[in-house]
Amino acid sequence: MSNKGKEEPTKEMTPPQKHELTGAETTRPGHVFTPAVDIFETEAAITVLADMPGVKAGGVTIDLRENVLSLDGTVGASEGEKEQVLVREYDTGSFHREFRLSNLIDQAKIDATMEDGVLRLTLPKAESARPRKIEVRTA
Amino acid sequence: MLIRRLPSLPDWTASFRDLYDVRREMERIFDTLGGMSAVRNPGVFPATNVSESDESLLVRAELPGVRPDDLEVTVEGNTLTLAGKRETLTESEGVSFHRREREWGTFRRSLTIPVRVEADKVEARFADGILTVELPKAAAARPKQITVQAGA
């Protein structure tokens, strides 16, 4: 790395433990993981970033009903047919996670993009849920 | 007196292969026991999966959110090095966070390649957050079919 102009991140990364969903929640075979997420909020929208490596744009399903947002990502086979695995340090599988949203979301304006295995979901707040500044008038 | 006969030492690659075979067998047993996986957290980022085909060795790593420009893949002798960084969020000001689980920072990991490879033909691809490094095996390391000739 040689771009000196920008401030370099100095923290050394550690391998994340992939969290696997267990229990009777799945109907499909294979592993299901909960993706790591960042969720942040501005006055206008809530943004969700989810790490879903191996998921293509077409493999994402986003569902929002009764304030429960669920994300699903499906992956294809990671190894080719003629390959034999020698060392496996991480498992692959689909992704699933649910969130309960407290704010009212304008469902028609939800925007989702997938880039380099990261899902970016922008959930604009409905007009009624946005903070409104109330002018105090002098009598 | 106890006399123990040591088998002749196998070559280095073969001993590795034996270890892998043991590992695979263990995985198979675990799988049949109750779907437990035998993955091993390496303690170094990124975790990699290594597989092989007849022609090449394939090293894969999950690097979601890393830009291809920030990735550095080098092969030197029989050492493969994966290095790079993942940037933290740009919009960290003026927003309130509900969750912050995604990792960021720099990483560097070196792996020893157990077979001879053609260093100048190594290819690295990055798609959907997964890095795949394909290392073509040197001709000497590829399996060869020997035709058995009928004696004259």
Degrees to nearest 5, angle at CA A76 with A93 and A12: 55
Long-range contacts of residues A60-63, Cβ cutoff 8 Å, at least 24 apart: A60/A112, A60/A114, A60/A119, A62/A110, A62/A112, A62/A121
pTM over 0.90: no
Task: Give a yes or no: residue A12 inside a domain.
Answer: no
Confidence of residue B109 (pLDDT cuts 50, 70, 90): very high
pLDDT at B123: 94
- pLDDT at A117 exceeding the cut of 80: yes
pLDDT at A2: 43
B93 in A contact zone (CB under 8 Å): no
Write the ipTM: 0.77
pLDDT tens column, B77-94: 889 999 999 987 776 677
Chain A positions in Cβ-Cβ contact with residue B48 (cut-off 8 Å): 87, 89-90
pLDDT at B88: 79
Range of the domain at A107: 28-76+87-127
Query: Are B50 and A31 inside 8 Å of each other by CB?
Result: no
Partner-chain residue, chosen from B37, B91, B97, that has the shortest CB–CB distance to A91: B37
B112 in A contact zone (CB under 8 Å): no
Instruction: Extract the tokens encoding B134.
Output: 């394909």
Chain B positions in Cβ-Cβ contact with residue A23 (cut-off 8 Å): none
Task: Give a yes or no: residue A133 inside a domain.
Answer: no
Q: Which residues pair with B86 in a beta bridge?
A: B105
- pLDDT at A51 exceeding the cut of 70: yes
Q: Which residue has the tokens 């849920």?
A: A129
The helix or strand, by DSSP H or E, that contains position A45, with its residue range, turns out to be strand A45-51
Lowest average pLDDT, out of A119-133, B11-25, B107-121, goes to B11-25
A131 in B contact zone (CB under 8 Å): no
- pLDDT at A32 exceeding the cut of 80: yes
pLDDT at A131: 72
Confidence of residue B20 (pLDDT cuts 50, 70, 90): low
Task: Give a yes or no: residue A43 inside a domain.
Answer: yes
Q: Give A139→chain B minimum CA distance, Å.
A: 34
Q: Which residues neighbour B124 within 8 Å (Cβ) at sequence distance 6 or greater?
A: B71, B73, B131, B132, B133, B134
Q: In the predicted model, what is the mean pLDDT of chain A?
A: 82
Higher-confidence residue: B5 or B43?
B43
CATH number assigned to the domain comprising residue A121: 2.60.40.790
Exposed (0-12), middle (13-18) or buried (19+): which is B133, by Cβ within 10 Å? Answer: buried
Task: Give a yes or no: residue A13 inside a domain.
Answer: no
Report the number of distinct structural domains present in chain A.
1
Query: Are A116 and B128 inside 8 Å of each other by CB?
Result: yes
Query: Quick one: DSSP state of residue A105?
Result: B
What are the DSSP calls for A2-17, one per residue? ---SSPPP-PBP-PPP
Q: Is the dihedral of CA B109, B115, B120, B121 positive or negative?
A: negative
B14 in A contact zone (CB under 8 Å): no
Please name the residue of chain A whose CA is at the shortest distance from the CA of residue B43: A15
